[in-house]
Structure 1
Amino acid sequence: MKTNLKKATLLLTGIMVGGKLFAQTPDTSAAAKDYVKPFSGGGQLRTWSVGVNGGVLTPFTVFGSNSRQDFTHPTEQVGYGAYIKKQILPSFGLQADFLRGKVKGTSSATNALGESTYSQYETNINWSASLSANITLANINWRHEKPFIQPYLTIGAGEMNYTPKITPVGGQETKYKTTGNGSINEVFIPIGLGFKFDIAPGVNLDLGYQVNFVNSDNFDGYKYGSTNDRFSYAHIGLEFALGSRKKPQMATHNPVSSMRTEYLWENQETRTALQREIDAEKAKNDELRNDLNTTNANLAKLTTDSDGDGVVDVNDKCPNTPAGTKVDGSGCPLAKPVIYVTEEDKKVVKDAIKNLEFDLGKATIRAHSYPSLDRVAQLLVDKNFSLKLAGHTDNTGSSDLNMRLSKDRAEAIKAYLVDKGANASRIEATGYGQTQPIATNKTAAGRQANRRVEFTLF
């Protein structure tokens, strides 16, 4: 029994994996929207489909109890089948089924003495063929464009060929029919229900349950009681719609969705005409707005002084002069007097360099350096000179630390001068660390000389 269940599990797993592969390649074309022109006939839909399935065959059914059957202990066996279906109406189709497998049970019903005559039976279904009506439910949906689940019912009639084998208690297995090859042909009625799930356009996962009523009491090889034999088939499978992938499948098609799409398309021309009128009015408004903007721009030229030099733009031959620049009548800067760096100016800078000291290993300027720096700041304010500050260190410590310290000291001097009124844009502060020594770093005097900030006035 465990082996049969394992086989059934592997079979169902294979079918599920196949469904996954089909689900991973969905149809992204316009036909996937499932639109079909209403009342256009079945030629716009796929009406033929084929299916394969596998599952479990057992003498147990939902009708009656096991204790009232010929064999009271059913076992599960693997079965498999296939079908071809013609969908005639959205909710009705005809389906031709094929089924093979085994049905098995143990412990026959007891006689008047409470004894079992047979220990088990096993019936091989060599083949079975039936024609059934397939009734699809809920494929017309007013809430969703396309239903995901299609419940269905089936009922039909057919013929099967089977070979029952029976084992007496304590005896050997024998064929029930001892003539010919032991097979029997019999009419049966299959009744089923199930659910189909859309996993891809034209591909459905099929979960179903079917009870097969045999028109005889010899299916299990044991004529007992007054009722005919029956068995069930629970299965899982895949259904594939045949025909062009551009057409939806009739059984899963929702005609309500197509009616809504048709309604929207019929009103598209009206909406398009209204949109054209709206676009035309917008174009006129844009044209008027552009004319107004052009007029305002021309008026602005007569009054606008963009650089604030007192000459309107229309007469300004030198636009974008810096703020505060004195200009002539055409808006061009007046020639500036040339200012030279005098010896007295250089002396002010030399005094500042001579008196400049910082706290050890820091960028903090010592207070006795302030007076000479104040004179440098005043010089920059009065003559609008530019100043370059270059910080240097000896090679004591890491190069990265010395580079930061030299830069910080130059920036500290710049910040002090700016605080005293100097123009920050005319002061450049740079740090060179230990890269530009002017003396040897092997002596204290040399290192002292290398720890410096150079002032370049221009």
Structure 2
Amino acid sequence: MKTKSWMTIGVVIASFILASCQSTPKNTMIDKQVYVPPKVLIEPLADTDNDGVPDIIDNCPNTPKDVVTDEYGCPVAVNLIGPLMMEIRVFFERHSNDLQTKYLIEVEKVAEKMHSDPELVVVLSGHTSEPEAVQIVVDINGEMNQVEADKRQLGRERAQIIKSALVKRNIARDKIYMFDCADNMPIAPNDTEEGMSMNQRIYGKALKADDFYTGSDHEQSLTYYKEFCQQF
């Protein structure tokens, strides 16, 4: 009996030792949480007005659709009507032929275009508003009457002013054609101040001499101007 008791104790001890050996070993390493930075989606640079210039460098962020812009997103001044013609428009105060400083840049552009192509000529047409074409006179009875003024004088003077400005920029006189159109070709009604101001103008263009002489485009030809205006 004593022998069996010792055997039982030995089996218990052996089982305990075996169970201890099969237990999961304790992890002695310190768990460390690895920092993983969040993923950031990098989108293309925004271009709110779709002019091809990113907003971050766009100095003119609200450019209208289909407007040509420079590298900073601002509209490029384009005076070219086509590859072979350039327009100039200059407006005058009532009864005045004084060339305002702000229009000198227009003259400069035409002169530059002329220097770039020896086959170009400049066509200048002087225009007046309807009120400029009449004069108010007071008769001996003190009544006011309208009489026609020298309708061609002011338009002629305006064209001459622009011609002189171009000649000062080394444009040959024989490449400048002038027409006095008086009030025969209004571009706006003369019944408002704004309309009258639009008609007090010089309209000019630099274009190929052959096109002007042959009249390939009637509205830009010598014949067209002679229908409404007086050449001088």
TM-score, normalised to structure 2's length?
Answer: 0.43
TM-score, normalised to structure 1's length?
Answer: 0.23
Q: Give 1 or 2: higher strand fraction.
A: 1
Max radius of gyration: which structure? 1
